[in-house]
Structure 1
Amino acid sequence: MSLFRGFAAATILTATTAAGTGKRGAAYNNNNDYGDATFANMLSNYSQVTWGYDWGFPSYNLSSTFEFVPMLWGLPSGDDSSWTDAVQTAGTKNILGFNEPDLTYSGSANILPADAAQGYKTYMEPFNGTVRIGAPNILWNNYDSSSSGGDYSSRTWTSYFMGNCTDCHFDFACIHWYQDCDPGNGQSGADWFTSNVTDAYNTLNLPIWITEFQCYGDDTQQASFLGDVIPWLDSQEYVERYAYFGVFPDYLLNDAGNALSEAGQAYTSA
């Protein structure tokens, strides 16, 4: 039985991918010397990478080989015609809403559950039936003690959100995960990650998109971690898509930003 009544009622649909064949995504932004999706487009020749998102909209010239997935990062101050235009752009199949609304740090959306629910009803629910709608992108870290750093754990935030959004429709759930590559507690980072993803699915009863995840460690450790978890992710039917953080220098790219790092090579390998 699902912890969250609204999630249990959702219909599980099959993911739609772009021209490639994989679940992997390019998490990117335009905060670079080019001011566009140049870094993300470096992954366009890898068939396993089929979609991209930039925590917002527009796509900043993301390659057409990818499916671009627009995100409504936080609550608009009022009607936002640009969001409607983005959702109604030809080729839009999925949309994402609210980036880490369960967290309270400056880089998060930081929205009270009831306000987030009203935002979904206003800005996401009208598109039900025309695109697939993702639930808010929440942290699902170390699930038995996950904390938002505020008054609620992420799990509790989600429960309150769903209690205020019982008439909302969700096609998939979105989670984030960040922990050490080597936790030093007798458990591998890969085991820690897969147990959290499994718990999210068992709790939320929806297909899972892992829209951000990373293990903290050097390039070689991250490459090893990806080598361990990618086969598992690709074999889980309920994991529809995932995006490692991120297509930036010193992450999936090398320091110069002109080639893949070790982690990037592991991420794009078949």
Structure 2
Amino acid sequence: MLPCSAAFVALLAALPSFVLPAAADSSSKRGLVFTPNQTTRADDAIWVQKPSDLTWYYNYKPEPESGFQDIPQSEFEFVPMLWGAPSSLDDTSFLSTVQSLIADKGINITHVLSFNEPDGPFAYGGSNIEPSDAAQVWVNNIIPLQEMGIRVGLPACTGGPGGLPWLRKFLSECSKLVSTGDNTRNCTYDFVTVHWYGNFEGLASHMGEYSAAFPNKSMWITEYNIDNQDLQTTQAFFNTSADYFDRLDFVERYSYFGAFRSDVSNVGPNGAMLSADGNLTDIGAWYLGRQATGVPPTQGSESWGFRSAVPPASVALISVWFAALLVGI
């Protein structure tokens, strides 16, 4: 991890506490981490209404959401995910499902995501897979998709210290499976996948570690947020990180974890893109490329006239400056 930068902290502290709301910069990299709530399914339509910067989504499953199936793949790309290991390591149902989406339903699948936080326990949303088991499932399900020309991402480990060691062990085990005799081969991948929950400095440092570990690979940040912070801190993090991702060419795509109401949020109410009664918060509106709504996350009333903390334009110089600190980027 990079050491804490006193200059960076001073720059953040120097920002004004409250400024007039501003529209987020447009970005084609933004996607949706779709996390439906069965009691508020009407909210699902929010994410496909225009105008929107969202160009792709995933839902932790191999099949697309029924409510989004009428939207052309070219406008809102579905990315299947192989979330965890099946009960039998010889199971190829993920492969069959993706092949069926292409052949039977005419969906142009061009990318797939693999295991979700395999280094994490089930209790915290991880898929809890041994690297050797994950390697076998990968060989059976992912490599045939690569042979079809589909781009695949490395497993998305947690932001904890066990993530990179898990990935190195996984790649080693996978290499053993595809190598024969003196013919040593490596399992390949097209992009690395990053999760992070914490402050911006930690996020940028974590990305730097991944860039050093997997040089010359593009990156998707498929879950990120700063959890359980006050609204000003949360908005500052959102705007700084989104601006940062948009400026880095090697970041292909990113998806903010917050597409739910504040009263059911597991990252704190201020990290949610919807208020308690289902209205877009400032962060939710910014993420879609719209003007700030002024909706407080915990109230959901536009009449409050709340002024957001830090619009995207206020953090552009900070993002450029901090990028120069990263090793290997």
Deviation of the 1:199 alpha carbon: 2.1
Q: Match of 2:64?
A: 59
Query: Which 4+ residue blocks in structure 1 deviate beyond 6 angstroms?
Result: none
The reply on whether 1:104 has 2:121 as its aligned counterpart is: yes
The reply on whether 1:209 has 2:214 as its aligned counterpart is: no
Change over 3 Å in CA distance of 1:59–1:122 after alignment to 2: same
Instruction: Confirm or deny: 8 A CA contact 1:27 1:244 kept in the other structure.
Output: yes
Change over 3 Å in CA distance of 1:136–1:160 after alignment to 2: same
Separation (CA, whole Å) in 1 of partners of 2:167 and 2:236: 32
**Greater per-residue helix proportion:** 2
Deviation of the 1:88 alpha carbon: 4.4
TM alignment of 1:160-179, pairs within 5 A: 160-166=169-175, 167-179=186-198
Give secondary structure in 2 for the equivalent of 1:26: strand
* Structure 1 letter corresponding to 2:205: S
Scaled by the length of structure 2, the TM-score of the pair is 0.64
Change over 3 Å in CA distance of 1:245–1:21 after alignment to 2: closer
* Structure 2 letter corresponding to 1:201: S
Q: Match of 2:138?
A: 120
Identify the match of residue 245 of structure 2 among 233, 238, 241. 233
Q: Match of 1:24?
A: 30
**Greater per-residue strand proportion:** 1
Separation (CA, whole Å) in 1 of partners of 2:87 and 2:218: 30
Separation (CA, whole Å) in 1 of partners of 2:226 and 2:40: 28
Gaps of at least 5 residues in structure 2 are 1-25, 102-106, 176-185, 263-271, 291-329
Change over 3 Å in CA distance of 1:73–1:40 after alignment to 2: farther
Instruction: Confirm or deny: 8 A CA contact 1:28 1:40 kept in the other structure.
Output: no
Separation (CA, whole Å) in 1 of partners of 2:203 and 2:117: 18
Instruction: Confirm or deny: 8 A CA contact 2:36 2:260 kept in the other structure.
Output: no
Identity of aligned residues (%): 30
Separation (CA, whole Å) in 2 of partners of 1:228 and 1:43: 25
Instruction: Confirm or deny: 8 A CA contact 2:225 2:238 kept in the other structure.
Output: no
Q: Deviation per CA, 1:165-214: give whole Å up to 9, x if none.
A: 223220111110011xxxxxxxxx22221221122122122211111011
Scaled by the length of structure 1, the TM-score of the pair is 0.77
Q: Match of 1:255?
A: 276
Instruction: Confirm or deny: 8 A CA contact 2:195 2:224 kept in the other structure.
Output: yes
Identify the match of residue 190 of structure 1 among 200, 203, 219. 200
Q: Match of 2:255?
A: 243
Separation (CA, whole Å) in 2 of partners of 1:117 and 1:269: 39
Deviation of the 1:21 alpha carbon: 5.6
Instruction: Confirm or deny: 8 A CA contact 1:134 1:173 kept in the other structure.
Output: yes
Separation (CA, whole Å) in 1 of partners of 2:116 and 2:219: 15
Change over 3 Å in CA distance of 1:246–1:43 after alignment to 2: farther
Gaps of at least 5 residues in structure 1 are 1-19, 148-152, 180-188
Q: Match of 2:285?
A: 265
Say what the alpha-carbon RMSD is for the aligned residues.
Answer: 2.3
